[in-house]
Amino acid sequence: MTTADMLADELVEIFADEDPLLASMYGIREADGDMGDLSEDARSAVRARAFDVMTRARALDAATLPAVDRITKATVEEQALAVCHRIDSRAVEYTVTDFFNAPVARALYFVPRVTVNNAAQAEVYVARLAQFRHYLSTAARRHVDGTGAGRPPVARLVDSAVAQVDRALAAGTDDPLLKPLRQHGMEKYAEQGRELLESEIRPALAAYRAVLGEIAPQARPDSKPGLCWITGGESIYAGLIRVHTEADRSPEELHRTGKDLVAKIHAEIARSGQQVFGTSDVGAVFHRLRFDEKLRWRDGEEILDVGRIAVAKAEVLAPGWFTVVPDQRCAVEAVPPEQDAAIPSGMYLTGSPDGKRPGTYFTNITRPTERFRYFAEVLAFHEGVPGHHFQLTRGQGLSHLPVLRRLPLSKAFVEGWALYAERLADEMGLYSDELSRMGMLASDVLRAVRLVVDTGLHARGWSRAEAVEYVRANTALPDIEVEAEVNRFIGYPSQALAYMVGRLEINRIRAAAERKLGDRFDIRAFHDTVLREGSLPLAVLADVVTDWMESV
């Protein structure tokens, strides 16, 4: 094993200690018995380890390394830096929301999704449940300390977190936390889990809820929801921009880029609107998309059916665009009821390496008559095929690479690819009609709007009302999703930047390859090059494609 590989493996161990709940979702089973220590001392210790790994990676002489190790070295440097910035952001203090980046929402969402296949794994699962009380009490303490230090949460999102905890407390015997243990031969562990649920977990949830009630009067109002309103907010936001875009981009540059893109995509929507509705007035197109009841769903099953058909159609055409197609098909399921308020439209959950849990595109089917048909296909292509499912399933299968490079840690690469996949689906001829294609454009302009609104909230001091109004005026989103999107921007600072920043870079890299190679450019080979090295920081991806161009 090379030094670069050893550093990569060491960083995976650090990541598992930083976020064992997410590590479990990525198949790092050594993390399954831990909830994670959210205390300031523990987080500082993790940061110190990550900084040490980053320093040692930087000391390696890239000129003396083979290509595979150069890629690993650069990936280690960027991901170790991201650990440092995440911990420096002190997000655990002020992140109180029902979206899964918040500590408690994260636990309620991820813990029951671990697969339990035998007694040993059941014992580990019960051991994790036994840590719930400490996890919750530490999260509550960090919230209190952060509030006292001028880093309070946002009042509206505290209310949503309280509602989520209330739902968890009312779950009764069908509590999702016991789901992995509800199987033949696991009765002993199921009983242990039930006892923990009643004696420790639910009382701890109730105590956590009480703490939220205590800090709520000091929470930030809708007029001050951004990071710029908390102590150290400017530097925190700068660090988080680096985490999610992998570049030291200023909020001002991102804001301008977003506004320019909004104008460009509006022009495309005007042309599409002329074909579909007979008008090129973007405001009129949005009004029609938002209020025409014929464009809405009848029921949730219809949403699921269209999502499944779209994924299946993409799977049939994929071999013409990819040299490698995953063996595992993409499952399509409804967002679980306990999460439907936090996930606006849909999300992808990586399959477990053992194959017990398939890679799944979850689509939100609640209140179907308020949701719109034209978003169905673009969501399926983004979350499923050729988007996240192709990318992340391919990454999992690269067993010859260090585990670090198989994990979807580069958010700009992961989300940039999925957004690239939406436009790629258009090249593939996957959209059923111009209305569905307009859904692609409506989705695209939302990602451009995210650049404007995220920086508006967290750097320019926008109120929530200003953010809602900008999203409403420049997208076709129905109000149900406008509200959820803005809440997500507020509660998960800078994450929304990753999509368009990543897509623009992948587009730039592809355009450079097309110019250089001309008739020798092969789209299948290009896609293979982009996906074959795992989840890469964008700068590293650019170097990989450059090396490929030189070899063609």
pLDDT on residue 479: 85
State the Cα–Cα distance between residues 92 and 153, nearest whole angstrom. 10
Q: Looking up tokens 């973007």, which residue turns up?
A: 282
Q: From CA 291, how far away is CA 529, in angstroms rounded? A: 43
* pLDDT, tens digit (0-9, with 9 covering 90-100), for 130-188: 999 999 999 999 999 999 999 999 999 999 999 999 999 999 888 999 999 999 999 99
**What are the pLDDT digits (tens) for 376-428?**
999 999 999 999 999 999 998 899 999 999 999 999 999 999 999 999 999 99
Whole-angstrom distance, CA of residue 32 vs CA of residue 25:
9
Rounded CA-CA distance 34/37 in Å is 8
Instruction: Write out the DSSP string of 282-310.
Output: HHHHHHHHHH-GGGB-S-HHHHHHHHHHH
pLDDT tens per residue, range 97-112: 999 999 999 999 999 9
Q: How far apart are CA 368 and CA 154, in angstroms?
A: 29
C-alpha distances out from residue 1 to 4, 354, 401, Å: 8, 25, 11
Q: How far apart are CA 147 and CA 70, in angstroms?
A: 43
Closest to 509 measured CA to CA, from 548, 545, 467, 464? 545
* Separation in Å, CA 100 to CA 202, 216, 302, 455: 19, 20, 27, 21
Instruction: Look at residues 78, 9, 87 and name the one whose alpha carbon lies nearest to residue 48.
Output: 87
pLDDT tens, residue order, the chain (552 aa): 999 999 999 999 999 999 999 999 988 999 999 999 999 999 999 999 999 999 999 999 999 999 999 999 999 999 999 999 999 999 999 999 999 999 999 999 999 999 999 999 999 999 999 999 999 999 999 999 999 999 999 999 999 999 999 999 999 888 999 999 999 999 999 999 999 999 999 999 999 999 999 999 999 999 999 999 999 999 999 999 999 999 999 999 999 999 999 999 999 999 999 999 999 999 999 999 999 999 999 999 999 999 999 999 999 999 999 999 998 999 999 998 867 766 768 899 888 877 788 999 999 999 899 888 999 999 999 999 999 999 999 998 899 999 999 999 999 999 999 999 999 999 999 999 999 999 999 999 999 999 999 999 999 999 999 999 999 999 998 887 899 899 999 999 999 999 999 999 999 999 999 999 999 999 999 999 999 999 999 999 999 999 999 999
Q: Which long-range contacts (CB under 8 A, 24 or more apart) does 21-27 make?
A: 21/106, 21/107, 21/110, 21/111, 22/106, 22/110, 24/110, 24/114, 25/110, 25/113, 25/114, 25/349, 25/350, 26/350, 26/407, 26/408, 27/350, 27/352, 27/353, 27/354, 27/396
Q: What is the C-alpha to C-alpha distance for residues 122 and 116, in angstroms, rounded to an integer? A: 6
Q: Which two tokens stand for residue 538?
A: 């964008």
CA distances from 103 to 12, 161, 459 (A): 20, 10, 24
Task: Output the CA angle 414-420-421, nearest 5 degrees.
Answer: 90
pTM: 0.92
Determine the Cα–Cα distance for residues 444 and 351; give it in Å rounded to an integer: 26
Cα 367 from Cα 286, distance rounded (Å)? 20
Orientation angle between helical segments 479-491 and 464-474, nearest 10 degrees: 130
